[in-house]
Structure formats: C-alpha cells, structure tokens
Structure 1
Amino acid sequence: MKSTCNYFLRTTTLLTFLVVSFSYAQEIENSADVFLEDYSDNFQEAFFEGLKQKGIENYDRAVNSFLTCQKLEPKNAAVANELAKAYIQGKQYSLAQEQAELALKVNPDNMWYLQSLYTSLKKQYKNLSHLKEIVPYDNEKLKENLAHILYLERNYNEAKNVLTEVKDSPFKTDLSTKVQAAIDQRGASSSSFTFTSTTTTNNTTKNTTAKQTTNSNSNSAFNYKSRLKFTLKQKNFVFLETTAKEALEAYPSQPYFYYALGAAYNGRKKHRAAIETLKTGLDYVLDDIRLADDFYREIAAAYTAMGNPAKANMYLIKVKFKK
C-alpha cells in the first residue's frame, strides 16, 4: 500500500511539472494519463529531473537530463525546446539554435519553439533575414507567430513588415492595430525634447534651454494629458468625460486618454461603460507599469460599485505597486 501511495505521489508531482512545461506544446493534445502511457519511466524521471534542475538554475544538469530524454525520444519537439531554453540560459547559443531548429522542424506552427529560435539567433547577433532563411517561411501560421513575437519583443517596425506578408484575418487586423498603436505611442513619447545652448557674449556665458514639441497648440497630446490630469484632480467628471472623448478622437492610441475616460465614467456612475473603455485602453498600455496599475484599480472600482467584489479582486491582484 505504501509503495502504491509513493507511486501516486510521484506521478502526481510529475504531472504537475509536465502540465506546466507542456501546456503550450501543441503535440500534447490528450490527457496527462495518455501522456504517461506513451512514455517510459526512464523518460519521465529524466524529464522531471531536467525541469527541476532548470528551475533551480542548474543548467548543465538540466541539459544532461534532457539529453537523456532525447536519446530515448529523438524526435520529441518539446524535449528539443527544453534543451534550447536550457542552452540559452547556459549561454550556449549555437547549441540552443540547433535544438530550436529541431523542435520547429517537427512542429513549425508552435510559437514557443519559434521564440526559442528567435532568442538563440538574437543572442548571436543574427538578424531577421537569417531566421527567415532557416525556417519554413511559407508557413502562414509561422509568419503570424513571428509577427506576434516581434511585437512582444517591441520590434514594432519589423513586426509591421512581417504582417504585410500575412494573409488577411482577424488576427492580422488585431495585431496590426496594436503594432501601429505602439509605433504611434513611441513616436509621441519622443516628440518632445529639450536642448541647451551655450553662447558667449562680451565675456558673459548664457545658457538657453528650450523645449520643443511636435505640436505646440492647445490640442496637442501633451496638453490634452495635462488638462485631463488637472480635471481628474478636480473631480469634474462631466468635463473630464467631454475632454477625454475629444482627446481620443484626435489620438485614439494614447492609453492615458482611455484611463481618463474610464475614470470619468466611474465618477458619473456609468460603470459598465467604464469597464469597457478601460479594458480597451489596456491593449495600448505597453511598458508603463504604473499606468497599468491605475487601469486595474479603476476597473476594480467599477466592479466594486456594481457589487462584484470577486471580479474587482481579480484586477486588484494585478497591481504591481501599492499606493
């Protein structure tokens, strides 16, 4: 009985690690029980050990365990990908590339295998054209995955270029919108700059500092944001709603304007409209963690006002910085 319990405990623990590791692998489509039937005990133990060693950052031992798995299952794409990731962590990038290519050859539709290959190439200072030469680039799903990876890596112009080669689909429309919004947001952030010039006249040195914006009129993105922040502090929600809507008409990819409109809706007890607006705006928040926190708090406030504390807590736990 004791041995049965031990086996059950070992199997349950193994299953936990396998599910975590394989949740993204497309070849594991059936239940974990079927998976256990398909692979030997030696394979399971070596794979489990590899995950454990990788988890504690002992990458050499992780590699050895995954190589054992690979000897037992030479064409297992998930194992090849785990090897690629372990090699990347161990800074053995050319070996990582070999394993990622092997995984992608077995399953070219898998985004995470492509991600491993992309990372291994980037670490070797190889560019996108090199990647295109070694993958089946005529695969439509692979091109979609590549565009998505480039977006996540913030290589927005390259993502945009790849998307021009992707067939029209809801995926392309959605990602194209996000990529363009990211490009616009990046352009808006760099549209303001300061410069200091030093001139000497009659032995007197003068420092002149000037600030330049791409749009100095009252309806520039910068001025809209300043007005909205002031109005939000004053809690004038009627004017806040009007101004935020006007700002969004002019700059539909600026996340703060969605936040301001959501706050205005909450202030006017239009909580459903607030949630819808704020969730839309979250798609445009890229790397501003504190702004994302403000979105989460405002969404939580809307759900709380609607008597849904469970949903409110779902967003409150996403907050990274506490006020």
Structure 2
Amino acid sequence: MKDLFFFLVIMVAVLGSQFSYAQEEKIIETEESAEVFLEEYTDEFQEAFFEATKQKGIQNYDRAVNLFLECKQLDSENEAIDHELAKTYLLDKQFFNAEKYAVEAIIADPTNYWYLDTLVEIIEKQSNTIESVQTTIPFKNHELQKNLSLVYYKREKFNDALIVVNQLPVSAFKEQLINKIEDALSRKSSVLNVKKPGSVIVNNDPVKSLELNLEQQISLEQFTMVESKAKEAVELYPLQPFFYFAYGLALHKNNKDSQAIDVLQSSLDYLFDNQKLANRVYQTLSDAYTKTNNFSKANEYLRKIKPGF
C-alpha cells in the first residue's frame, strides 16, 4: 500500500511537470513508464518522500520540510522537490521560503503550469504581484507567459490575463484566450448592469453614480484607474468615507502602503454606522500593515472586523 501511494504521489509530480495548455488532453500514463521512473530513485529517497508527503498531509509541516530537504540532498536537481517545499512552506505560511523554492522550480522548468500556479498563489498571499519576481524568473519565456495568462484567467483576474496574453505573438492560443477573457468581462459587466468595462453608470445622484463606477472598477481590479478617480472623489466629496476607502484600497493594491494607511485611517472619521464599509476598511488596513511588516497593527485591525456584515 505504501508503494502504491508513493507511486501515485510521485506520478502526480511528474505529470504536473509536463502540463501545459496545449497538452491538457495529451497526458498519458503507462505502467511500464511509471516503473522505469520509480527505478531511478533509491529506497532512501522513496521512503523520505513518502514520509514527507504523509507529514504534510497531517499538517506536521516542520517534519515534512526536513524530509523534503533530505530528498533534495539525495537528488539536488529534482525541481519537483523544490515545488513540494514551496507548497509545504506555503501551507505553513512561511512565504519567504515558499517563494524561494517556487522560484527555483520555475527556473528549472519555466514551462510547468503548476509550478507557476503555486508561485502566483504565494505572491498573492503576500499582496504582491508577479512583477516582484519578474527579474528572477525567465519571464520572457512564451510558455511561461501562456501559463501565466491561464493562471490569471482561472483565478478570474481577467484584466491581468489580458495584459499578459497581449504580449504573446499571434497564435490560435492567443486568439482563443482573448475571446474567452472578453466573454468573461462582458458577463461580469452585465452583472454590474453596465454595457462594457469602463462605461458610465447613469444615476441622478452624482455621489452614488461615482461610487457605483468605482465599485465596478474595483471588481474588475482596475486599480490604477481607481486610484486616480478616487483621489478626485475625495477632493470633491471630503465627507464621503467610501471614496477614502476606494482611494486607500487602490494605493494598497498599487504597492503604496504607507499612503494607503494614511488615507484609510482618514476614512474612519466619517464611517459612523456603516459596519459593512468599516469591515472593508479594517481588512485593507490589516493587509497594508502586513505588507509593511507591522504585524501588531495588522492584528489590531483584524480584531475590529465584525462578522455578519
């Protein structure tokens, strides 16, 4: 049973390294090739890998990491182990170490979809963007860019996906994904009762109209536009807390966390009984303080969030 379990786990790792958009329906498993693969590893490696996977499964992350590091010593060129270390450190919320090993895995195999998916998750957990590691990974690799556009698309980050896919040369993949992204954006806009991204929502109340437009742009993650519009809104309507929130959120998303904290704290003077908005402000303040490594303040604002709103 142990051998069977190890076989399944290691094959997932191997097949994962061969995944790409164009190959989704071409993954082939045969008993013969699996046996040949397993023969390449020593009993010591197999035992360490199996036990590491088991320990990770029961959330004993320190022990799992140590065992995966043993595997790394036995086979230093195996990027699948780097990926397992990245995933384990991610589960343990050790994001610095997780990012280190995820980057190493991507450098070893830039075409691997799952390695990139894990790296993006680690980066997002730190409220960062792919630009933070762009110079350390082979970002110009077309397969990596194809995979990144898919990662964003599947995470419903449609504008990010569009930016990446537009950098690719003309191909059937590019055309198909752009069509899918545009369809998704169209459906999302329909839910928001607008004709297309960026269109103006008609409302007799100028404050409410501006608020609805900012909410739309926030939902589409157009934070450069949100920052500009919300800044103007704060100047026009200095007593409206939502505009401070939108401005502060955009600053945070655009990696201007010190400014974001100042703006978000200003909104607290105007919140009054709007607990739903207060929760959004507290969450964003917590995220911004986390990015500035002020964890005591981050926890302070997290505790202010009231459930049910």
Category of TM-score, reference length = shorter chain: 0.5 to 0.7
Match of 2:186 in 1: 184
How far off its partner does 1:195 sit? 8.5
TM-score by length of 1: 0.54
Aligned with 1:17 (options 1, 9, 21): 9
Match of 1:155 in 2: 157
How far off its partner does 1:14 sit? 2.0
Judge conservation of contact 1:49–1:65 (CA < 8 Å) in 2. yes
Q: CA–CA distance in 2 between the matches of 1:54 and 1:159?
A: 32
How far off its partner does 1:176 sit? 1.1
> In structure 2, do the counterparts of structure 1 residues 190 and 37 end up closer, same or farther at CA, with 3 Å as the change threshold?
same
Q: CA–CA distance in 2 between the matches of 1:52 and 1:22?
A: 18
Q: CA–CA distance in 2 between the matches of 1:66 and 1:18?
A: 13
Match of 1:257 in 2: none
Match of 2:144 in 1: 142
How far off its partner does 1:57 sit? 2.6
How far off its partner does 1:127 sit? 1.5
How does 1:89-128 map onto structure 2 within 5 Å?
A: 89-128=91-130
Q: CA–CA distance in 2 between the matches of 1:10 and 1:41?
A: 12
Q: CA–CA distance in 1 between the matches of 2:130 and 2:145?
A: 12
Deviations 1:54-82 (A, max 9, x none): 22332222212111111111121100001
How does 1:105-254 map onto structure 2 within 5 Å?
A: 105-191=107-193
Judge conservation of contact 1:118–1:131 (CA < 8 Å) in 2. no
Q: CA–CA distance in 2 between the matches of 1:131 and 1:174?
A: 28
Instruction: Give % identity.
Output: 36
**Which structure: greater strand fraction?**
1
Match of 1:308 in 2: none
How far off its partner does 1:45 sit? 0.8
Q: How many residues align?
A: 193
Q: Give structure 2 stretches of 5+ with no counterpart.
A: 20-26, 195-200, 206-211, 214-309
Match of 1:286 in 2: none
How far off its partner does 1:166 sit? 0.9
Aligned with 1:40 (options 39, 42, 50): 42
Q: CA–CA distance in 1 between the matches of 2:51 and 2:172?
A: 41
How far off its partner does 1:49 sit? 1.2
Q: CA–CA distance in 2 between the matches of 1:22 and 1:196?
A: 59
Is the radius of gyration larger for structure 1 or structure 2? 1
> In structure 2, do the counterparts of structure 1 residues 113 and 184 end up closer, same or farther at CA, with 3 Å as the change threshold?
same
Match of 1:261 in 2: none
| Matching residue's letter, 1:177 | N
Judge conservation of contact 1:97–1:120 (CA < 8 Å) in 2. yes
Q: CA RMSD in A?
A: 2.9
Match of 2:85 in 1: 83
How far off its partner does 1:151 sit? 0.7
Bigger relative contact order, structure 1 or 2 (CA pairs below 8 A, ≥6 apart): 2
Match of 1:26 in 2: 18
| Matching residue's letter, 1:137 | F
How far off its partner does 1:153 sit? 1.4
Q: Give structure 1 stretches of 5+ with no counterpart.
A: 1-8, 198-212, 215-323
User: Secondary structure of the equivalent of 1:31?
Assistant: helix
TM-score by length of 2: 0.57
Q: CA–CA distance in 1 between the matches of 2:96 and 2:192?
A: 36
Q: CA–CA distance in 2 between the matches of 1:42 and 1:194?
A: 68
Q: CA–CA distance in 1 between the matches of 2:8 and 2:127?
A: 36
| Matching residue's letter, 1:19 | M
How does 1:36-75 map onto structure 2 within 5 Å?
A: 36-75=38-77
User: Secondary structure of the equivalent of 2:16?
Assistant: coil
How far off its partner does 1:20 sit? 3.2
Q: CA–CA distance in 2 between the matches of 1:36 and 1:128?
A: 35
